[in-house]
Amino acid sequence: MKGLSGLAEKKHRHERIVMVTAYDYPSARVVERAGVDVVLAGDSAATTVLGYETTRAVSIEEMLMLTRAVRRGLTTTLMVGDLPFGTYEDNDDLAVASARQFIDIGCDAIKLEGAGPMLKRVEALVAAGIAVMGHVGLAPQHARTPEDFRARGRDAASAVSIVNDAIALEQAGCTALVIEAVPSNVTEVVMQRVAIPVIGIGAGPATDGQVLVYHDLLGLLETRPAKFVPASIRALSTRTRCSPRRSSRSIRVFERTSRYADGGSSGGSPALRLKKRSAAATAKNASPIHVKRLSSTRWP
């Protein structure tokens, strides 16, 4: 795909856009091999890989370190960097300086959350030659408690403001939009009013594509998958699910085999062979299937 313009071309061809997050080198390799259109080095890393309560806690240094690792794992796939909370809201200069650090790493665009005062930030970024992906509906960086992670746009006023935000972000120069956790009928109105590609998460089937967090896609979290993860993906991810039972089985096998390890045999130790086999199986089987499902699945 040729730069971000490839997303608009896909939209015009009515082909589904698949965006998946990655937070490190191996996850970037897996999703690129699976053929996703866009990799988002998302600030969901805060909760999925860094163990913070919310995305508000992650620093720009942490995001840059993870984004660099993702960059090293990608050769051709579009990469979007995610501006973390507190690094762009206050003024245009701050937004441009923060975004430049992601572009210098090799991001094709950056994503930021919200509209209102953020419209000026988008204009400043676009004027500085930086492509911007907007984010409307539920904005996780504005959520302070678990209750704040509820769907948006369920009453008339909030639905209208989501539609207006989407229109305003397009007018401010966004190249694409993420729409998160809004009712399908609100997404349908957004789709009628904006021309740029819209990528949904928990926003129904009307969008041009879907985005999913890598750990939700592969079932790598101990917690139950979010409600918007389709049943077909949940069923597939039980194959790779990180369950305490599976992990302790692997650790027992490792304990039994590792005593033979001497590092000298041509195929490596039994433990190393086990590790290589399971890495190859994950890369070869699980992810491409999941990503195919992602582009053809029925969305809530």
In this chain, which stretch among 35-43, 236-244, 254-262, 282-290 interacts with ligand KIV, using CB under 6 A? 35-43
Which lies closer to ligand KIV via its Cβ, residue 177 or residue 271?
177
DSSP symbol at 228: T
Nearest Cα residue to 188 out of 179, 292, 94: 179
Q: What string of DSSP letters covers 149-173?
A: -S-S--SHHHHHHHHHHHHHHHHHT
List the interface residues with ligand KIV, window 183-242 (CB under 6 A).
Answer: 201, 211, 213
Q: Among residue numbers 156 through 185, which ones bind ligand KIV (CB under 6 A)?
A: 178
Options 37, 43, 170, 208; binder of ligand KIV; rule CB under 6 A: 43
Residue 180 bears catalytic tag: yes
The size of the interface with ligand KIV (CB under 6 A), counted in residues, is: 10
Q: Of residues 62, 180, 222, 255, which has the active-site annotation?
A: 180
Candidates 26-34, 41-49, 98-106, 260-268: pick the segment binding ligand KIV (CB under 6 A): 41-49
Q: Which residues of 139-157 are buried (b: 16+ CB within 10 A; e: fewer)?
A: bbbeeeeeeeeebbbeeee
**Residue 136, φ and ψ in degrees, nearest 5:** -120, 170
List binders of ligand KIV among 121-140 (CB under 6 A).
none
Q: How far is CA 78 from the centre of its chain?
A: 12
The four Cα atoms 290, 283, 69, 269 give a dihedral, to 10 degrees, of: 150
Binders of ligand KIV among 253-292, rule CB under 6 A?
none
| 44 near ligand KIV, rule: CB under 6 A | yes
Task: Give 61's contacts (C-beta < 8 A, 6+ positions apart).
Answer: none
Q: What is the identity of the amino acid at 186? A: V
- Rounded Cα distance between 248 and 240, Å, is 14
Toward ligand KIV, which CB reaches closer, 42 or 114? 42
Q: Which residue is nearest to ligand KIV (CB)?
A: 42
Kindly tell me which of 82 and 165 has the beta carbon lying closer to ligand KIV: 82
Q: Which is nearer to ligand KIV, 28 or 201 (CB)?
A: 201
Residues facing 178 on adjacent strands: 135, 199
The distance of closest approach from Cβ of residue 18 to ligand KIV in the complex, given in angstroms and rounded to an integer, is 13
Q: Which of 3-11, 39-47, 91-99, 101-109 is the region at the interface with ligand KIV (rule: CB under 6 A)?
A: 39-47
Which stretch, 38-46, 168-176, 230-238, 291-299, contacts ligand KIV (CB under 6 A)? 38-46
Examine residue 17 and tell whether it contacts ligand KIV (CB under 6 A).
no
Q: Are 31 and 39 in contact (CB under 8 A)?
A: yes
Instruction: Take residue 284 and report the two structure tokens written for it.
Output: 């070869």
Q: What's the half-sphere exposure (Cβ side, CA atoms, 13 Å) at 209?
A: 29
Footprint of ligand KIV on 51-110 (CB under 6 A):
82
Give dist(CA 76, CA 19) in Å, integer.
14
Sole window of 42-50, 65-73, 97-105, 269-277 interacting with ligand KIV (rule: CB under 6 A): 42-50
Q: Which residues have a catalytic role annotated? A: 180
Interface positions with ligand KIV (CB under 6 A): 21, 40, 42-44, 82, 178, 201, 211, 213
